[in-house]
């Protein structure tokens, strides 16, 4: 157990809808990163938040957005869902270079 | 852009066999290197890490990895695998100077190696 929690565990949405995924970071960790893991692939970096500011972004379109709150928890929002957005979404919290992952949210877009 | 390549997609071994999983990365600057493991139904867990110093690092559960800078490699090894080592293993690289001084950097992952150990 890493102390990083994510909700919900599973989610089914329809193409075109919007979704919000949530992450609570490990106590004391001020940085949260989000990753997308498609089936059979390694996690791909979406973006990172450090002290409530976006601190870097991977190769994902603007319809992927996020927030970090004063308690360092975070949200990932995806608008206009596409079938290819079906994946496991991982949140990782960190204080330094080591990132600790939550269990993920499995998103299925139909 | 940095990339990470894992040589084998699926490795099948019998218990007590030795294991070596290959990992190569493309970035030529300073890097931090990690191996993560994902057991069936569980979340990604850090197995071991290399930041600096002795290039042979030891992790949990008897795993070790060797950083060879000249080969851009960070191979994972275990002398004798157990059935409980069945899992997916990911190599990851972090460039600690990416995206500004306040960032600890993103992780770039390989595509993963599924290890199946038969009893």
pLDDT digits (tens, 9 = 90+) for A52-91: 888 888 899 999 999 999 999 999 999 999 999 999 999 9
- Which of A33, A41, A45 is the closest to B111 by Cβ? A41
Task: Please answer whether residues B38 and B44 qualify as being in contact, where contact means their C-beta atoms are separated by less than 8 angstroms.
Answer: yes
Question: Rounded mean pLDDT of chain A?
Answer: 94
In angstroms, the separation between the Cα of residue B107 and the nearest Cα of chain A is: 7
Closest residue of chain B to A42, computed from CA coordinates: B111
pLDDT of residue A55: 84
Which pLDDT value is given to residue B41? 87
- The structure tokens listed for B45 are 């867990």
Say yes or no to pLDDT of B101 above 50. Answer: no
Among B43, B102, B109, beta carbon nearest to A42: B109
Put simply, the chain B residues between 72 and 91 with a CB less than 8 A from any chain A CB are 90
How many CB contacts within 8 angstroms connect chain A with chain B?
70
Q: Say if the Cβ atoms of A100 and B103 lie within 8 Å.
A: no
pLDDT in tens, B17-54: 999 999 999 877 788 999 999 999 899 999 999 998 99
Q: What span, in angstroms and rounded, lies between the C-alpha atoms of B112 and B5? A: 9
pLDDT for position B95: 73
CB A40 to CB B111 under 8 A? yes
- Across B16-118, the runs of DSSP E, i.e. the strands, are 19-21, 23-25, 32-38, 45-50, 56-58, 64-68, 73-78, 87-94, 107-109, 113-118
- Summary mean pLDDT of chain B: 90
Q: Is the CB of B49 less than 8 angstroms away from the CB of A98?
A: yes
């Amino acid at each position: 157990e890493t102390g990083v929690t994510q909700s919900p565990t599973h989610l089914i949405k329809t193409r075109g809808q919007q979704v919000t995924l949530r992450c609570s970071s490990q106590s004391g960790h001020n940085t949260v990163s989000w990753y997308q893991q498609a089936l059979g692939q390694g996690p791909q970096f979406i973006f990172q938040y450090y002290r409530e500011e976006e601190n870097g972004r991977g190769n994902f379109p603007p319809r992927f957005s996020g927030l970090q709150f004063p308690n360092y928890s975070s949200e990932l929002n995806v608008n206009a869902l596409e079938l290819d957005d079906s994946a496991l979404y991982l949140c990782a919290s960190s204080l330094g270079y080591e990132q600790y992952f939550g269990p993920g949210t499995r998103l299925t877009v139909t | 852009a940095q990339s990470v390549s894992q040589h084998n997609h699926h490795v099948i071994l019998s218990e007590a066999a030795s294991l070596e999983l290959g990992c190569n990365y493309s970035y030529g600057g300073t890097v931090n290197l990690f191996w993560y493991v994902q057991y069936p139904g569980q979340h990604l867990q850090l197995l071991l890490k290399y930041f600096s110093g002795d290039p042979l690092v030891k992790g949990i559960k008897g795993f070790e990895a060797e950083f060879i800078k000249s080969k851009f490699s960070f191979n994972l090894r275990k002398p004798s695998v157990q059935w409980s080592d069945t899992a997916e293993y990911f190599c990851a690289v972090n460039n600690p100077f990416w995206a500004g001084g306040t960032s600890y950097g993103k992780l770039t992952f390989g595509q993963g190696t599924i290890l199946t150990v038969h009893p």
